[in-house]
Amino acid sequence: MSADGQVPESVVARLRPHGRAMFWPSLALILIVGFAAYFYGQFPQTWENLGVLVGAALLALLLWVIPLFAWLGRNYTLTTRRIVLRSGFLVRVRQELLHSRGYDVTVRKTALQSAFGSGDVQINTGLDHPVVLRDVPNADLVQAALHDLMEESQNSVSTHRQQEASRPSDETTIWGTR
Q: Where are the domains of the chain?
A: 11-17+75-164, 19-71
The whole-number mean pLDDT for each consecutive block of 10 residues of the chain, a chain of 178 residues, reads 69 94 97 96 94 97 96 94 92 90 92 94 86 94 93 69 58 58
Yes or no: is domain 11-17+75-164 CATH 1.10.1060?
no
> For position 67, what pLDDT does the model report?
96
User: What is the Cα Rg of the chain in Å?
Assistant: 26
pLDDT of residue 15: 95
pLDDT at site 48:
95
Predicted TM-score (pTM) of the model is 0.75
Q: Is residue 101 a contact partner of residue 125, using CB atoms and an 8 Å limit?
A: yes
Helix (H, G, I), strand (E, B) or coil at 11: strand
Considering Cα of 145, then 151, then 157, then 160, what sign does the dihedral take? Answer: negative
Is residue 138 helix, strand or coil?
Answer: coil
50-56: long-range pairs with CB below 8 Å, 24+: 56/32
